[in-house]
Structure 1
Amino acid sequence: MRKTKIDPWSEEWEKSYCHEEGKLKEVLKDELVDIFHIGSTSIPTVGYAKPIIDILIVVRNIVNVDLYKSKMLILGYESKGENGIAGRRYFTKGKDNRTHHVHIFQMGSEFIKTHLNFKEYLLQNPIEAKKYGELKINLAKQYPEVHHKYQEEKQQFVNKLVGKANEWARQRNSPKLGN
């Protein structure tokens, strides 16, 4: 059973992402459109995170990602299929001691915008980011041995943040009257 482990934010997480980014670009080069470091390990102002690097990959054709499963396995990634999100390919690295999660979506997927809006919103709103980090610490203390409870309660907060982030992004991108 996975335990809930939360660490203080570390610059090492960006280094880990960069190291993995190069490997993933090489494997998926024929399908790759873009790649991003997402999640709490990419947002210093959150302050705390599970030490798992989340990576968002945008590809031309999601179905073709299935052709790369054996190459991903060589890198240590286990394929989880869509894992509850239609149109996604999800890979984990590290079994019960996970180090990386890879979320792959086809160009145009709304999930891409949602993930990137969430990250940018927290980067631009450090008070919200700090609240998120504090929630993680409190939930980890409350559910150190029951990871799914930690995830369930955190998800409620995340859903509210996603709503705020998407509204924030809409307002930023809407044309201003009189300009």
Structure 2
Amino acid sequence: MKVTVSSYHDNWPKLFEEEAEKITSIFSEKLITIHHIGSTSVPGLQAKPIIDMMPVLKDITAADHLTFEMEALGYEALGEFGLPGRRYFRKGKHKRTHHVHMYDRSSQEEIDRHLAVRDYLRAHPDEAAAYGALKQRLVQAYQGDHEAYINGKDQFVKELELKGMKWRK
């Protein structure tokens, strides 16, 4: 899948809220909260136009039991997808619209990591601008090659995670 990065869109929070309502209706009392994470959650940040969501469940097995309901919303279930304890779903086979990263409330370290990066970027527009510029350079340099794009921003993201976690404390 080819990567595209666009300017921030004011409708991204609304798209998050609309999808969060659908997921809430599926998980109801099994759900603690749903966070808007990733670049689309940071006002002004350039991003792939895909809404990243992080539902926090009381028990992660609810994600396994309700996979059919997520699939009925158009999601593809990918299990842990490389991150132990997570359940990952993506929506939009040829035009991706949403990524859902579900965690159990006991996965606090992973939850905190995602929120720390989001909150750090929201509080540090200069860092957000540098991250957006890096994304644009990578898309241009690698002609939208997804794997090269991900690898190209890996070190920057790891540094953001460290800065975010330190800042949060």
**Structure 1 length normalisation: TM-score?**
0.91
Instruction: Report how far residue 156 of structure 1 moved.
Output: 1.4
- When Rg is computed on C-alpha atoms for both structures, the one with the higher figure is 1
SS of residue matched to 2:80? coil
Query: Which residue in 1 is equivalent to 2:159?
Result: 160
Verify the 8 A CA contact 2:90 2:98 in the aligned structure 1: yes
2-side partners of 1:97 and 1:144: how far apart? 17
- 8 Å CA contact 1:5–1:144 kept in 2: the answer is no
State yes or no: 1:81 paired with 2:79. yes
Give the superposition deviation at 1:51. 0.3
Q: Which amino acid aligns with 2:139?
A: A
Matched residue, 1:65: 63
Segments ≥4 residues shifted beyond 3 Å: none
Aligned to 1:115: 114
RMSD of Structure 2 on Structure 1 (CA): 0.9
Question: Which 5+ residue runs of structure 2 have no aligned equivalent?
Answer: none
Equivalent position amino acid for 1:160 in 2: E
The sequence identity of aligned pairs, in percent, is: 42
Distance in 2 (alpha carbons) for counterparts of 1:92 and 1:64: 17
CA distance in 2, matches of 1:52, 1:155: 18
Scaled by the length of structure 2, what TM-score is found?
0.97
Residues 95-131 of structure 1 show CA distances to partners (whole Å, capped at 9, x for unaligned) of 1321000000000311100001111101111101110
Q: Distance in 1 between matches of 2:60 and 2:36?
A: 19
Distance in 1 between the 2:84 and 2:106 partners?
Answer: 14
**Deviations for 1:10-30, whole angstroms, at most 9, x for unmatched residues?**
011111111101001001113
The letter of the residue matching 1:81 is G
5+ residue gaps, structure 1, are 171-179
